Amino acid sequence: MSRNSLQGIRVAILATDGFEQSELTEPRKALDAAGANTEIVSPKSGKIRGWNHKEWGAEVEVDRLLDAVNASDYDALVLPGGVMNPDSLRMEPKAVAFVKSFFDAGKPVGAICHGPWTVIESGAAKGHRMTSWPSLKTDIRNAGGNWVDQEVVVDDNLVTSRKPDDIPAFNRELINLFSQAVRR
């Protein structure tokens, strides 16, 4: 993928404390390397702390507060996993509304691991073929989605993956899907 394939695209990465570290940092690096302008959006100001497999990981600086942004400020959205992060976000009405607004506008969204919990909460899983961490299989099906066990799934404007091992495939498809949005 060309270094400038995402030149001019603005990507929100919605996260809070407890995001799976690699599921935020690795997609962000790949998107930035492809020319995107990524911003960490969070309901919490300052820094948020990652979860690195089985213990607390590194902190990342929040670029924009959730209260100060709209989906119209961005071209695409990434939802990292980790159990704590999406579980907290799906209980935050503004986060759920933010995610829903991307789907309503037909903008591309990427979600990995437990990230689809927020997609489910927004009502956007219905009718989508998607994957996730296996424990979300029933949640996705109950929300009207079609869960499959694959490293990456692209369905319309949604790309999903299961876990950190799937990040290379997730990143490849994120860049591909987001670059299509730039060409429109």
Q: What's the confidence (pLDDT) of residue 155?
A: 97
- pLDDT confidence tier of residue 5, bands split at 50, 70 and 90: confident
Q: What's the confidence (pLDDT) of residue 182?
A: 65
The C-alpha atoms of residue 90 and residue 119 are separated, in whole angstroms, by 9
Q: Which amino acid is at 89?
A: L
**pLDDT tens, 94-151?**
999 999 999 999 999 999 999 999 999 999 999 999 999 999 999 999 999 999 999 9
Catalytic residue annotation: 113-114
pLDDT greater than 60 at residue 1: no
Q: Where do the domains of the chain lie? A: 10-179
Q: Three-class SS of residue 164?
A: helix
**pLDDT tens, 24-39?**
999 999 999 999 999 9
The C-alpha atoms of residue 26 and residue 175 are separated, in whole angstroms, by 12
What's the whole-model pTM score? 0.96
10-179: CATH topology:
Rossmann fold (3.40.50)
The C-alpha atoms of residue 170 and residue 166 are separated, in whole angstroms, by 6
**pLDDT tens, 135-180?**
999 999 999 999 999 999 999 999 999 999 999 999 999 999 999 8
What SS3 string covers 85-150? HHHHHCCCHHHHHHHHHHHHCCCCEEEECCCHHHHHHHCCCCCCEECCCHHHHHHHHHCCCEECCC
